[in-house]
């Protein structure tokens, strides 16, 4: 359970960080106001880029904490710049880095209860990780990528898969 | 390895099927040529909806076969309608349904070698599943969803998560 959660989230948070660095460079090169890019969305009732990043990071944080059986730390949603989103991703990775394999003993069968969309959700740890936490995480990561691609940032699948390594 | 792959792929292929049914109904209700929707994309050098669906389905099929240690069945990319995409998803689910837990014994450490983007890729089974197969699968599933949302189809996160149950 540890191996299929914590290092996976860290890997893809590093991808997200690298993707956002490319987006920031793109804005600088084309004199695009970064606030415009951070507020782009694919449809009026979808979340903007900043919120997609916050939700992806929160998904990784929540999954790590719940599976480890510890309280979910709360990070305020106050980011207004690429630098602040990078810091948000960084502190999420730092938190995940504090989790240990020992905390994940028995996480597969652990009862996971939380609220989302005003509804209480009940899962076992394994079902939570595989049918809620990782799918949601990749959903918001991919939507962030899609917003940037749709707005002309030159990204490719290797940026998504790289774990932050240069591509 | 079986539990964190085969039923997960089947669950989300059923989500994809339900999402495409809603898209088809949307086209009928608004007299949109289904071919127009099937060829929508988020940027000129991104894949269109049909191809996103084919790649998502192929990702699930390839992962199931490789982790089971059997040859990957080849399905031709010939779909030209929502009905044909539903059939493609259906036969992918049927194939995954033939795989057994016994075939996945030791899959975690199995050497997985395949070509993608002209490059040979080498993974152990666990790393292949968690950093290649599932992320790629969710990438294409989410991009299909994003194309439809961007084009006005009324979908929400529950459609993505539902596993095909009515939402």
The distance of B79 to chain A (nearest Cα, Å) reads 23
**Threshold 0.95, pTM exceeds:** yes
Distances, alpha carbon A61 to alpha carbons A38, A74, B4, B96, B124, in Å: 22, 9, 20, 31, 26
Mean pLDDT of the region B51-78: 98
Report pLDDT digits (tens) over A79-117.
Answer: 999 999 999 999 999 999 999 999 999 999 999 999 988
Asked if pLDDT for residue A157 goes beyond 90, the answer is yes
Mean pLDDT of the region B5-9: 98
The distance of A20 to chain B (nearest Cα, Å) reads 17
Instruction: Give Rg (Cα) of chain B.
Output: 16
pLDDT of residue A117: 85
- The residue among B146, B152, B153, B164 with the most chain A CBs within 10 A of its CB, best to mutate, is B146
B37-72 residues labelled b (16+ CB within 10 A) or e (exposed): bbebbbeeeebebbbbbbbbbbbbbbbbbbbbeeee
Distances, alpha carbon A85 to alpha carbons A11, A34, A58, in Å: 17, 12, 12
Q: How far apart are CA B2 and CA B16, in angstroms?
A: 21
Asked if pLDDT for residue A2 goes beyond 90, the answer is yes
Cβ-proximal residues to B7 (8 Å cutoff; 6+ apart), any chain = none
Beta carbons of B151 and B37 less than 8 angstroms apart:
yes
Beta carbons of B37 and B23 less than 8 angstroms apart:
yes
Q: How far apart are CA B158 and CA B122, in angstroms?
A: 35
Q: Which of B8, B136, B150 sits opposite A131 (nearest CB)?
A: B8
Q: How much of chain A is in helix, strand and coil states, percent to nearest 5?
A: 60, 5, 30
Query: Quick one: A75 exposed, middle or buried, by C-beta within 10 A (0-12, 13-18, 19+)?
Result: middle
Other C-beta atoms lying within 10 Å of the C-beta of residue A28:
11
Asked if pLDDT for residue A125 goes beyond 90, the answer is yes
| Helical pair A49-68 and A6-29, crossing angle rounded to 10 deg | 160
Helix (H, G, I), strand (E, B) or coil at A144: helix
Report pLDDT digits (tens) over A6-51.
Answer: 999 999 999 999 999 999 999 999 999 999 999 999 999 999 999 9
Residue numbers in A near B131 (CB within 8 A)? 8, 11, 161, 163
Residue numbers in B near A12 (CB within 8 A)? 135
Output the DSSP codes for A11-38: HHHHHHHHHHHHHHHHHHHTT--HHHHH
Report pLDDT digits (tens) over B115-160.
Answer: 988 999 999 999 999 999 999 999 999 999 999 999 999 999 999 9
Per the prediction, chain B carries an average pLDDT of: 97
Q: Which residue has the tokens 């932050």?
A: A164
Asked if pLDDT for residue B79 goes beyond 90, the answer is yes
Beta-carbon separation of A8 and B130 below 8 A: yes
Q: How far apart are CA A132 and CA B54, in angstroms?
A: 23
Distances, alpha carbon A73 to alpha carbons A51, A63, A88, A91, A148, in Å: 18, 11, 13, 11, 29
The distance of A43 to chain B (nearest Cα, Å) reads 5
Return the number of CB contacts < 8 Å for A and B: 75
pLDDT of residue B167: 85
- The residue among B56, B138, B151 with the most chain A CBs within 10 A of its CB, best to mutate, is B138
């Amino acid at each position: 359970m540890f191996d299929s959660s914590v290092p996976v989230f860290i890997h893809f948070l590093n991808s997200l960080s690298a993707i956002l660095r490319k987006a920031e460079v793109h804005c600088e090169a084309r004199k695009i106001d970064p606030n415009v890019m951070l507020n782009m969305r694919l449809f009026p009732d979808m979340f903007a880029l900043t919120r997609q990043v916050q939700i992806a990071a929160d998904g990784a944080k929540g999954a790590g904490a719940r599976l480890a059986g510890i309280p979910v730390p709360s990070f305020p949603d106050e980011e207004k710049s690429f630098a602040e989103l990078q810091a948000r991703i960084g502190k999420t990775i730092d938190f995940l880095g504090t989790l240990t394999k020992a905390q994940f003993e028995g996480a597969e069968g652990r009862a996971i209860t939380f609220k989302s969309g005003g509804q209480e959700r009940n899962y076992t740890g394994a079902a939570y990780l595989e049918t809620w936490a990782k799918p949601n995480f990749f959903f918001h990561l991919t939507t962030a990528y899609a917003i940037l691609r749709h707005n002309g940032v030159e990204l490719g699948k290797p940026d998504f898969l790289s774990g932050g390594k240069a591509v």
